[in-house]
Amino acid sequence: MFIETRGNDGKKSQKVPFSYAILNPSASFGGLYVPENLPNIDTDFLEKASKKSYKEITLDILRLFNIDIEEEVMQKAVALYDAFDDATEPTPLVQIEDDLFVNELYHGPTRAFKDMALQPFGYILSHLAQKLGEQYLILAATSGDTGPATLDTFANKPNIKVVCLYPDGGTSDVQRLQMTTQKSPNLKIIGIHGNFDDAQNALKNLLASPSFKEALSAKDIKLSAANSVNFGRIIFQIIYHIYAYVALLKQGKVALGKPFYTIIPSGNFGNALGAYYAKKMGLPIQKILIASNINNILTDLISTGVYDLRSRTLLQTTSPAMDILISSNVERVLFDKFGAERTKELMEALKEDKLYTLTQKELACIQDDFEAVYCDDTFGKEQIKHYANKGYIMDPHTATCLKAYKELKIKPLPCVLCSTAEWTKFAPTMLNAIKEDSVTYSDKEALEGISNALHVKIPECIRALFNEAIIHDSVVKKEKIEAEIFDFLNKVKP
Ligand SMILES: N[C@@H](CCOP(=O)(O)O)C(=O)O
């Protein structure tokens, strides 16, 4: 069963099953749903897992969570990994140093780690909508990767309409094209004048707005979301951390039960939360190392206990998917450590004062599991070039992790770095890094440039984007989002 991070307001059920939590992700007082209990995985589980495939382990973990989804549906959802680059190994673990391994999470249809969760999640959610005979509007806010993955998973799905909000100018060109060229009639993509935080705020306000829900209800439409505020995303984001350890075991790089580090490039903190839950379930993670770009609010929180939005403006970087200041899933960690009352207090302080401060005791408790560091774009580009010279291509988000590897990994243990996206989504930055220049390349010429320089193929799904027509060209002010959504819903076929 699932409970609420900010406590219960007396109007909602105190505990809800998984299906309810994913169809209705907004909990009391604007909080989030979290599992009441986490299942345990012990060395026996991990030993057995080391003889199993990614899909088998996924199903084992879903069964341990005892969610109210039929076995057949879970199997069909997980079968979607068969369409990844390598059906037997959807998340290859690649060694790049004696003690450093890259968990490549981007081998799905939209070339980012979001597919790992959104492919099965999309299947389950649309199955539930059909089973209940209900129409759903799914909202997504994106800084570049969640949007394409959401649109791909829900394209042409019965009973589902999707509205995806992205910050105009705040994503790479490839990420934008992955969204704006979508043809499926059940999808609407809206650029906004603002940044990702504005897009996500708009999404959260709509999710919590009784009048918006009433207006949808008049059209017989219910409301859900595809971001990691939805626990249906998080459950699948736990599994690839467990599988990374299993892969270390399979490769003989760690002894059963011995610890490892994991490094996570972070923005909305869903990926890091998945690692935290995996650690709590029993995965022997020494520490979860959080990497940020210069939007380093998470580094501040984890190092000082202060979450301070007052003096910050969101800065554009070459790792745009991490350009986030209001990071949704920190709330779930706060709840897990300090309970609903304190979480509500902290979240209200953040909303009203744009600031909260943890006590020293609370900070120590966070530091039991997390450490954090940040880097700037120059550092990231140096790492891209360094590893490209050694024959390994990593994208600018993955490159931020090298700072944590150098500074925070203090024990001689194996270290897994979560690689969140393929280089093809950020080709101009990649080419600037390789050539050590600051020329403004178009994505198309940069893709060719990298492909020629590093002898690597451009996947057809990326190359084809440049020949597609732009279907979605609306870019609106924040105040116009709701009107734009209803305009879409009034025109689209039920
Ligand atoms: N970095 C994300 C932002 C949304 O994160 P989510 O995990 O909550 O969906 C993106 O690329 O869109």
| Residue whose CA lies nearest to ligand 1 atom number 1 | 321
d(CA 350, CA 356): 6
CA atoms 73, 78, 79, 80: torsion sign? positive
pLDDT value of position 5: 98
Ligand 1 geometric centre to CA of 268 (Å): 6
User: pLDDT of 311-322, one tens digit each?
Assistant: 899 999 999 999
Q: Which atom of ligand 1 is nearest to the CA of 271?
A: 7
Q: Please state the atom number of ligand 1 nearest to the C-alpha of residue 166.
A: 12
State in Å: Cα 45 to ligand 1 middle.
31
Question: For ligand 1, atom 9, which residue shows the shortest CA distance?
Answer: 227
Structural domains of the chain, with CATH: 2-73+113-230+471-491 (3.40.50.1100), 83-111+232-464 (3.40.50.1100)
Residue 145 C-alpha to ligand 1 middle, in angstroms?
6
What pLDDT score was predicted for residue 493?
Answer: 79
The one-letter amino acid code at 134 reads E
The minimum-distance atom of ligand 1 relative to the CA of 228 is 8
> CA 231 to CA 236: how far, in whole Å?
9
Closest-CA residue, ligand 1 atom 5, reads: 268
- Closest atom of ligand 1 to 229 CA is 8
Token pair, residue 162, equals 């999707």
For residues 114 and 226, what is the distance between their CA atoms, to the nearest angstrom?
Answer: 10
Q: Cα(284)–Cα(256) distance, rounded to whole angstroms? A: 9
Q: What is the secondary structure of 30-63 as a DSSP string? A: G--EEESS-----HHHHHHHTTS-HHHHHHHHHH
Instruction: Give the C-alpha separation, 159 to 466, whole Å.
Output: 30
Length of the chain as a residue count: 494
| Cα angle for residues 209, 214, 215 (degrees, 5° grid) | 100
* pLDDT value of position 494: 75
Residues 6+ positions from 199 with CB-CB distance below 8 Å: 141, 142, 143, 165, 166, 167, 192
User: Cα(486) to centroid of ligand 1, in Å?
Assistant: 24
Does an H or E element contain 179, and which? helix 173-180
Q: Is 273 in contact with 237 (CB distance < 8 Å)?
A: yes
What does each of the 494 residues of the chain score in pLDDT, given as a tens digit?
Answer: 999 999 999 999 999 999 999 999 999 999 999 999 999 999 999 999 999 999 999 999 999 999 999 999 999 999 999 999 999 999 999 999 999 999 999 999 999 999 999 999 999 999 999 999 999 999 999 999 999 999 999 999 999 999 999 999 999 999 999 999 999 999 999 999 999 999 999 999 999 999 999 999 999 999 999 999 999 999 999 999 999 999 999 999 999 999 999 999 999 999 999 999 999 999 999 999 999 999 999 999 999 999 999 989 999 999 999 999 999 999 999 999 999 999 999 999 999 999 999 999 999 999 999 999 999 999 999 999 999 999 999 999 999 999 999 999 999 999 999 999 999 999 999 999 999 999 999 999 999 999 999 999 999 999 999 999 999 999 999 999 999 999 999 998 77
Quote the ligand 1 centre to 256 CA distance (angstroms).
33
Whether the CA torsion 40, 46, 48, 52 is positive or negative: it is positive
Structure token pair of residue 361: 């005791």
Question: Which is the closest atom of ligand 1 to the Cα of 144?
Answer: 11
Whole-model pTM above 0.90? yes
Angle at CA of residue 365, ends 360 and 369, nearest 5° = 135
Q: Are 60 and 235 in contact (CB under 8 A)?
A: no
Give Cα 452 to chain centroid, integer Å: 31
Atom of ligand 1 nearest to the CA of 329: 8
Quote the ligand 1 centre to 74 CA distance (angstroms).
Answer: 24
Q: Collapsing DSSP states into helix, strand and coil, what is residue 353?
A: helix
- Amino acid symbol at 150: T
CB 175 within 8 A of CB 145: yes
ipTM of the complex: 0.99
**What's the whole-number average pLDDT of the chain?**
97
Distance CA 392, CA 456 (A): 11
Which tokens is 85 given? 């680059």
Cα–Cα distance measured from residue 102 to residue 334, given in angstroms and rounded to the nearest whole number? 28
Distance 357 CA to ligand 1 centre (A): 25
Name the residue of 113, 118, 145 to mutate for ligand 1: max ligand atoms within 8 A of Cβ.
145
Cα-to-centroid distance, 380 and ligand 1 (Å): 20
Question: What sections of 181-269 are H helices per DSSP?
Answer: 196-208, 210-217, 231-250
Residue to mutate (ligand 1; options 115, 142, 328, 426; most atoms within 8 A of CB): 142
Distance between Cα 258 and ligand 1 center (Å): 32
pLDDT digits (tens, 9 = 90+) for 29-82: 999 999 999 999 999 999 999 999 999 999 999 999 999 999 999 999 999 999
Query: What letter represents residue 169's amino acid?
Result: G
How many angstroms does the Cα of residue 22 sit away from the middle of ligand 1? 17
**CB atoms near residue 455 (< 10 Å):** 8
Q: How far is the CA of 203 from the centre of ligand 1 (A)?
A: 12
Task: Identify any residues that bridge with 95 across adjacent strands, giving them in sequence order.
Answer: 101
**Phi/psi at 65 (5° precision):** -70, -15
Kindly state the tokens that stand for 433: 């890094």
Q: Give the rounded percent of residues in the chain with a pLDDT score beyond 70.
A: 100
Ligand 1 binding pocket mutation candidate from 114, 115, 420 (most atoms within 8 A of CB): 114
Give residues with Cβ within 8 angstroms of 237, minimum separation 6: 116, 117, 228, 270, 271, 273, 274
Report CA Rg, the chain: 21
CA atoms within 13 Å, Cβ hemisphere of 106: 24
User: What is the side-by-side order of every strand in the sheet holding 160-167?
Assistant: 221-225, 135-141, 160-167, 187-192, 475-476
Whether residue 395 contacts residue 422, with contact meaning beta carbons closer than 8 Å, is answered with: yes
Map residue 291 onto helix, strand or coil.
Answer: strand
What is the amino acid identity at position 9? D
DSSP assignment of 303-325, as one string? Answer: HHSEEE-TT------S-GGG--S
- Pocket of ligand 1, candidates 166, 268, 398, 400: which has the most ligand atoms within 8 Å of its Cβ, to mutate? 268
Ligand 1, CB cutoff 6 Å, lining residues: 142-147, 227-228, 267-268, 270, 321, 328
Decide: 120 and 78 in contact? Cβ < 8 Å: yes
